[in-house]
Amino acid sequence: MAAVDEDIRPREGNRKLPPLLNLARRTRYALHQGSRIALYTLHSEAMRRMNRELQKDLPETPKVVPDGPVPGQRRMLADIVQLFADDLKAVEEGLYPMPSDGTMSPRELLETSRAFFRDVPEVARRRAAGAHQEVNETAEGFAEALPRYYRQNFHFQTDGWLTEESARIYDFQVDVLFSGATAAMRRRALVPFAKILRKKDQRRVTYLDLACGTGGLLRPALKAFPRLKGIGLDLSEPYLSVGRDRIRSRRASYVTALAENLPFSDNSLDVVSCVFLFHELPPKIRRAVVAEVARVLKPGGSFLFVDSLQTGDVPDYDGLLSVFPQLFHEPYYTSYLTEDLTGLCAAQGLEERWRTPAFVSRVAEFIKSD
Ligand SMILES: C[S@@+](CC[C@H](N)C(=O)[O-])C[C@H]1O[C@@H](n2cnc3c(N)ncnc32)[C@H](O)[C@@H]1O
């Protein structure tokens, strides 16, 4: 099994480099992330063209009107560049190693790209028909026992959260949406995480990634911190199964459970991270999840939060956020946009230490009071 963990060990360690090597590192970073932006932007453009053709044969949908300003392409690109600059700065400061996100073999890339394009007409059909309950209507096996709010075609995606086919293209779909910047947004959570670990023995830190999906944060966290163990929790067995294949570390363990009913004792965890979950939850469940995070964290423990921007975080994006739930079936997103997360967490004893926007995400750290 040792060979498995080798894969996840940082190749160059967390260290500062002499100027010339640092320049080489910057060039490598720029080439890697630049090629990712190009890859996903090309997919996005091809998808737009496909959708234009498909729409000719689909029922017309009401025009979606933004309620506020919408950033232009130049502004969004500038924000992505800023995100990458912050990401590289964290690497140069030795907080985490050079990222290798989304490194797929040519064959894997081709297969995922094909699967992505095969799904585009299905998503277009659902969007035109307002069909977002297919997974509920056909739910059988483990799916029947899942909560009703969960059994939906979120984002109009095929099979919702319920199959491995959906899990295998999920990250690719999200990256097409965010122009290849998704992993860099998630990594914002590793900055406070690295600072927490500087003061601790990694081997003794108890860490949970809540709603870990296919391991979008758990994998880079275990790669960045080579002695850390992490638990990935999600309600989707198929997403966890794909995550297990991708993470391949014996320092990772997995739990299928509800975020609003965590199978951990009171005051038992040092760090809980949670990426892109809260906007997917009904307000009542959101409250229950915050209460559970507060319950399981040790006093002084950290809750690392990454999710969508909210209304007013970056006013230039408000209009874009307002159309998102209609374009991509997101039944609870509108309520999320104005949710007082600071107040919600404070009511459970989780004090917000800081928060910051990162492209289209909000990143924050909450500390459980002693
Ligand atoms: C948008 S995905 C985010 C996944 C991952 N954190 C990432 O960064 O890609 C939302 C995830 O939340 C999970 N999820 C949604 N509701 C949940 C709940 N009540 N309990 C546990 N997991 C849940 C879904 O199965 C899905 O994997």
Over the chain, what is the mean pLDDT? 90
Other C-beta atoms closer than 10 Å to the C-beta of 279 total: 22
Q: What is the pLDDT of residues 53-84, one digit of tens each?
A: 988 887 777 788 899 999 999 999 999 999 99
Query: Per-residue DSSP letters for 291-305?
Result: HHHHHHEEEEEEEEE
Q: Are 296 and 240 in contact (CB under 8 A)?
A: no
CATH superfamily for 182-368 is Vaccinia Virus protein VP39 (3.40.50.150)
- Domain positions in the chain: 182-368
- pLDDT for position 21: 87
Contact 185 CB / ligand 1 (< 6 Å): no
Q: Are 305 and 290 in contact (CB under 8 A)?
A: no
Contact 255 CB / ligand 1 (< 6 Å): no
Q: What is the pLDDT of residues 131-173, one digit of tens each?
A: 677 666 666 666 778 898 898 877 778 778 888 999 999 999 9
Contact 160 CB / ligand 1 (< 6 Å): no
| % residues pLDDT > 90 (the chain) | 73
Which tokens hold the place of 56? 């000719």
Q: What is the pLDDT of residues 218-232, one digit of tens each?
A: 999 999 999 999 999
- pLDDT for position 152: 81
pTM: 0.93
Which residue has the least CA distance to atom 12 on ligand 1?
A: 211
Query: Per-residue DSSP letters for 77-96?
Result: HHHHHHHHHHHHHHHHTTSS
For residue 365, list its beta bridge partners: 304, 354
- Please give the residue that has the higher pLDDT: either 232 or 123: 232
Residues 6+ apart with CB under 8 A from 192: 302, 304, 365
**pLDDT > 70? residue 175:** yes
Per-residue pLDDT band for 233 (boundaries 50, 70, 90) equals: very high
If one residue of 235, 260, 328 were mutated to test the ligand 1 pocket, choosing by the most ligand atoms within 8 A of its CB, it would be 235
Residue 246's nearest CA partner among 214, 221, 277 is 214
Residues 6+ apart with CB under 8 A from 106: none
Q: Are 1 and 8 in contact (CB under 8 A)?
A: no
Which tokens hold the place of 302? 């950290």
DSSP code of 15?
-
Contact 236 CB / ligand 1 (< 6 Å): yes
Contact 259 CB / ligand 1 (< 6 Å): yes
- pLDDT for position 3: 35
